[in-house]
Amino acid sequence: MTVELVRETWPGKIFTVTIGATASEGGTRARTVTVGGHAALPFLPGDAPSPNRPVVAMEVMDAVPQDWPDALKSQLGDVMGAPADWARKCVEAYGAELICLRLNSPHPDWKDASPDAAVATVRSVLEAVPVPLIILGCGHADKDNEVWPRVAEATRGERCLMGVATPENYKTLVVSCLADGHLVLAESPIDVNIQKQLSILITEMGISPDRIVLHPGNASLGYGLEYEYSIMERIRIAGLQGDKMLAQPMLTLSGEESWKAKEAKLPEAAQPVWGSEARRGPAWEAITATSFLHAGADILVLMHPEAAAAARRAIADLSAAAATA
């Protein structure tokens, strides 16, 4: 007996967003990354095939937390403190399609680094790699508002994805992105209503809805994954139903969130039945990220090279399966 596939069509479409700009487009990137454009839920054989598969970005920090897990230090210890080298390693050794540069140093409680220093870091990373950049602030609103305009100006025309815009702090970032041709990463606290509201606020400032990427909060396996998953799913369904304020590609910062879990980083010595943390940590990260693929994540930001490799394999397998059915 053959099973008839249920084929679903939707009235709406997810916006297509291109990150990065080549020389002919006013930037310096050797290649750009395009996400979105979907007319159906992800990886469903028989439904409208997606023009752009999800991508894996790797996170690079200008300063690493003191208690960074050993499993990450063992892989990246040689480039910690050298963001340009770190970024180069992610692209050349681990195949990162994008670099997500997080500027922790400017935070007043961290290094209180100057906007000039942040600009220098961004420039060095931009020169070190040919791929497009995602640039994240330190999360301190006042300091981010000093840093963002300078970084946006220094990278004018590169079409970076800059974030995060929140309902409490979005105006300076949006103005900077408007002025210098960047894209806005809009973050809600795992809340579909606030996510929509933020898109409306951002577009009212004059940026078009196809220059926004959504970041619907932070969660990991065991720590709210299912909440974020269901919110992402609702966002994607609303977008496909025609709600243009929720029809943007989505990003998850799965690396950062996964390594906060004790299950990811506790040494084997402390909990022998859990097995080696060198395998457990990347697996935690990979499972978190690949779960979000099914809810419609377009950009996975990961830290551990093995997690990144596993996510890329999952994307390839899921895309191939959807295409052959």
Partner 1 sequence: MFIIGERINGMFRSVARAIRDRDAAAIADLARRQVSAGANALDLNTGPTGDDPAEVMTWLVQTVQDAVEVTLSLDSPRPAVIEAGLRACRGRAVINSTTGAAEKLDALLPLAVQFNAGLIALTIDERGIPRNAEARAEIALTIVARAMEAGLPTDRLYLDPIVLPVSAVQGQGPEALNAIPSFLALCEPMPHIVVGLSNVSQGAPNRGLINRTFLTMAMAMGLDAAILDPLDQELMDALRTASVLLNREIYCDNYLQVRTA
Give the shortest CB-145-to-partner 1 separation in angstroms: 23
Query: What angle (nearest 5°) sits at the alpha carbon of residue 296, between those of residues 39 and 301?
Result: 130
Q: Would you tell me how many other CB atoms lie within 10 Å of the CB of residue 325?
A: 11
Question: For 60, left (φ over 0), alpha (ψ -120 to 50), or beta?
Answer: beta
Cα separation, 71 vs 259, in Å, equals 10
Min separation Cβ 230 and partner 1, Å: 13
- Contacts with partner 1 by CB under 8 A: the residue count is 15
Q: How far is the CB of 239 from partner 1 (least distance, A)?
A: 10
Q: Does 13 bind partner 1 (CB under 8 A)?
A: no
Handedness of CA 123, 124, 125, 129 (dihedral sign): positive
We find the least distance from the C-beta atom of residue 252 to partner 1, in angstroms, to be 20
Regarding beta strands 55-61 and 212-215, do their DSSP bridges make them parallel or antiparallel, or are they unpaired? unpaired
Q: Is 146 in the site for partner 1 (CB under 8 A)?
A: no
Mark the segment that binds partner 1 (CB under 8 A) among 69-77, 84-92, 156-164, 189-197. 189-197
- List, in order, residues 6 or more apart from 117 with CB less than 8 Å away: 105, 106
Strands 33-36 and 55-61: unpaired
> What's the closest the beta carbon of residue 317 comes to partner 1, in angstroms?
32
Between the CA atoms of 132, 137, 143 and 144, what dihedral angle is there, to the nearest 10 degrees? 60
Of 82, 120, 178, 194, the one binding partner 1 by CB under 8 A: 194
- Does the protein bind partner 1 through residue 5 (CB under 8 A)? no
Q: Considering the complex, state which of residue 246 and residue 315 has its C-beta at the smaller distance from partner 1.
A: 246
Q: Which stretch binds partner 1 (CB under 8 A): 27-35, 86-94, 244-252, 281-289?
A: 244-252
CB of 40 to partner 1, least distance (A): 17
Asked if residue 40 binds partner 1 (CB under 8 A), the reply is no
Q: Taking contact as CB under 8 A, which single stretch among the options 126-134, 242-250, 264-272, 289-297 is the one that binds partner 1?
A: 242-250
- Between CA 218 and CA 167 the distance in angstroms is 16
Distance separating alpha carbons of residues 273 and 96, to the nearest angstrom: 33
Listed ranges 95-103, 148-156, 198-206, 219-227: which one lies at the site for partner 1 (CB under 8 A): 198-206
Within 10 Å of residue 218's Cβ, how many Cβ atoms? 18
Q: Does 307 bind partner 1 (CB under 8 A)?
A: no
Locus of tokens 């996964």 = 258
Tokens standing for residue 186: 């809009």
Q: Which stretch binds partner 1 (CB under 8 A): 101-109, 123-131, 144-152, 193-201?
A: 193-201
Least distance between partner 1 and beta carbon 240 (Å): 12
Pick from 242, 276, 279, 313: which binds partner 1 (CB under 8 A)?
242
Binding flag, residue 246, partner 1 (CB under 8 A): yes
**With respect to partner 1, which residue has the nearer C-beta, 154 or 201?**
201
CB 151 within 8 A of CB 119: yes
Q: Which residue has the tokens 């990450």?
A: 72
The structure tokens 């709600």 sit at 243
Q: Interface with partner 1 by CB under 8 A: which residues? A: 192-194, 196-197, 200-201, 204, 234, 238, 242-246
